[in-house]
Amino acid sequence: MYDVIVIGGGTGGYVASSLLASNDISVALVEKDIIGGTCIRTGCAPTIFENTLFSNIYRYREWGNYVGVDIGISIGDYKHKMKEIIDFLSNVGENVLKSRGVDVYYGEGKLISADTVEVGGKLLRANKIIISTGSEPIKQFPKRNVLDENTWINANFSGERVGIVGGGPAGVEFAQIISRQNSDVYLITHGELLSKYPLTVREKVKSILDWDGVRIFENRDVLKMEENVIVTTQETINVDKIILATGRVPVFPKGVENLVSLDVRGIIIDDNMRTSKGNIYAIGDVAKKPTPLLAHVAFEEAIIASLNILGKPTKIDYSSIPQVIYLDPKIGIVGNESEAEKFVEYPFSASSKAAITGYREGYVKLGIKGDRVVYGEIVGDQSDELISVISLFVKYRLPISKLLFTIFPHFTYSEIIINAMKRIYNIDSDLPY
Ligand SMILES: Cc1cc2nc3c(=O)[nH]c(=O)nc-3n(C[C@H](O)[C@H](O)[C@H](O)COP(=O)(O)OP(=O)(O)OC[C@H]3O[C@@H](n4cnc5c(N)ncnc54)[C@H](O)[C@@H]3O)c2cc1C
């Protein structure tokens, strides 16, 4: 009899298992594939790897001119490197779990009752169960040239015509990295591109993709899709490959429907990550929530569920979840734009640091309510890191009139954030713009 069985060894399940085990809780983790889940296998890790690679190559090509070095790329080599990184992260994860005393069972976990899970014909029992079985692409289209968010990673797109169906974050990230492999990319979306995002973000993303030569087709219904052709309400597009990035649905372990409340968007949870059956918890993409499906949300939910299991009652707070769209330049967003009474913007081109590094494209935009920052948007180099600074302001509702006397080091990009605040009082100072 274990204290806890965790079903699913992706981001959420990994964090919960290792955290509980290091607090002397006996844990059995059941995983049907490899440790790491979507984030490591096909999601965050490979997209961030490709984003970093192609952003750097573009930059190094420019800098290579100064020293007479011509920078090329071998698709075979970089795919090999990416596989090495994925294997490394997955293996490290497995070793950490084992070293902390987690018993890992490989196979599909099925819920037999509120305290029993079956895996490979073996019955495991525990006082508590955490379900962390993730999500999967909404549409499957089993044809050779039609890929999805799980299968894109193994394909070579170099020099091909690629149709991407779906204008969410995954679709736009795929569009840029694939267009940078000398491919013609057609991005087709049902409504507007990134329709759930603020207007300035949508416009910026369109101009970035436009610069990369991606052809964007908004407000189109796909009427027919064959291996080499996409027929929309307005055109026929001939392609060599298609990627479906049309959204994700929860993956429910067998038997769960008899035990807990759920709907098409996931398992219903309370603020403590508890399901309708008190000893069963759900975390990560499989848990229904008001935020996008993100690895750092799964992380946080794993911590909250674990603390509650450890007897430390703690509630989840979804109010300031940052999000990054991995384009070149990256885009970081946090908070609620509609709460803002006014906005203030500061461009990267007015930053001395950006003048030195050459990354002069982008801006910081803050949404202000009274004396507080309630929304932040950063486009530019390192915005994936910088957005966390604004997350602190948004989460703790810190007063701008005090914050703007925080001294940030010179030459840094973070000065752009403090200068945006100083601009409200007309005391900002860096380069003219
Ligand atoms: C293309 C793409 C890019 C992304 N980029 C980012 C990003 O940059 N940043 C970010 O924060 N998030 C990103 N995400 C989202 C992120 O990957 C997910 O939010 C995160 O992986 C969710 O973690 P999870 O533990 O809920 O599920 P998963 O990581 O999917 O793990 C679920 C695990 O459960 C296992 N499993 C399922 N059913 C069973 C069963 N019955 N028995 C045993 N095991 C089972 C699966 O094999 C899997 O390993 C991206 C996603 C995609 C698709």
CATH number for 133: 3.50.50.60
Whether 314 is covered by a domain: the verdict is no
Same domain flag for 230 and 173: yes
Q: Which atom of ligand 1 is nearest to the CA of 109?
A: 42
User: Tokens standing for 176?
Assistant: 């840029």
Q: Which atom of ligand 1 is nearest to the CA of 170?
A: 1
Q: How far is the CA of 22 from the centre of ligand 1 (A)?
A: 23
Please work out whether the CB of residue 177 comes within 6 Å of at least one atom of ligand 1.
Answer: no
Q: Which of 209, 244, 279 is the last residue of a domain?
A: 244
- Which of 9, 5, 25, 23 shows the shortest CA–CA distance to 95? 9
Q: Which of 229, 244, 259 is the last residue of a domain?
A: 244
Same domain flag for 176 and 286: no
Say whether pLDDT at 239 is over 80.
yes
Q: How far is the CA of 11 from the centre of ligand 1 (A)?
A: 6
Whether 343 is covered by a domain: the verdict is yes
Same domain flag for 286 and 419: no
Residue from 31, 38, 174 to probe ligand 1 pocket by mutation (most atoms less than 8 Å from CB): 38
Task: Identify the residue whose C-alpha is closest to ligand 1 atom 20.
Answer: 295
Same domain flag for 155 and 211: yes
Whether 58 is covered by a domain: the verdict is no
Same domain flag for 402 and 279: no
Please work out whether the CB of residue 108 comes within 6 Å of at least one atom of ligand 1.
Answer: yes
Same domain flag for 275 and 353: no
Q: Which atom of ligand 1 is nearest to the CA of 34?
A: 49
Same domain flag for 11 and 118: yes
Q: Which atom of ligand 1 is nearest to the CA of 286?
A: 26
Question: 136-158 pLDDT, tens per residue?
Answer: 998 767 777 899 998 998 888 98
What CATH number is attached to the domain comprising 347? Answer: 3.30.390.30
Domain count, the chain: 3
pLDDT at 141: 73
Same domain flag for 35 and 173: no
The residue with tokens 């013609």 is 184
Say whether pLDDT at 72 is over 90.
no
- Which residue has better confidence, 154 or 273? 273
User: Minimum mean pLDDT among 53-57, 199-203, 428-432: which range?
Assistant: 428-432
Q: Average pLDDT of 186-212?
A: 96
- Which of 365, 383, 382 shows the shortest CA–CA distance to 374? 365
Whether 48 is covered by a domain: the verdict is no
- Which residue has better confidence, 350 or 72? 350
Say whether pLDDT at 75 is over 90.
no
pLDDT at 57: 87
For 408, the domain range is: 329-424
Residue from 294, 330, 333, 385 to probe ligand 1 pocket by mutation (most atoms less than 8 Å from CB): 294
Same domain flag for 163 and 226: yes
Whether 57 is covered by a domain: the verdict is no
Please work out whether the CB of residue 132 comes within 6 Å of at least one atom of ligand 1.
Answer: yes
Whether 419 is covered by a domain: the verdict is yes
Whether 87 is covered by a domain: the verdict is yes
Same domain flag for 7 and 128: yes
Please work out whether the CB of residue 18 comes within 6 Å of at least one atom of ligand 1.
Answer: no
Whether 222 is covered by a domain: the verdict is yes
As a whole number, the mean pLDDT across the chain is 94
Same domain flag for 341 and 363: yes
Please work out whether the CB of residue 244 comes within 6 Å of at least one atom of ligand 1.
Answer: no
Same domain flag for 388 and 284: no
Q: Average pLDDT of 61-87?
A: 81
Residue from 32, 39, 281, 318 to probe ligand 1 pocket by mutation (most atoms less than 8 Å from CB): 39
In the structure, what pLDDT confidence band is assigned to residue 431 with cuts at 50, 70 and 90?
Answer: confident
Please work out whether the CB of residue 32 comes within 6 Å of at least one atom of ligand 1.
Answer: yes
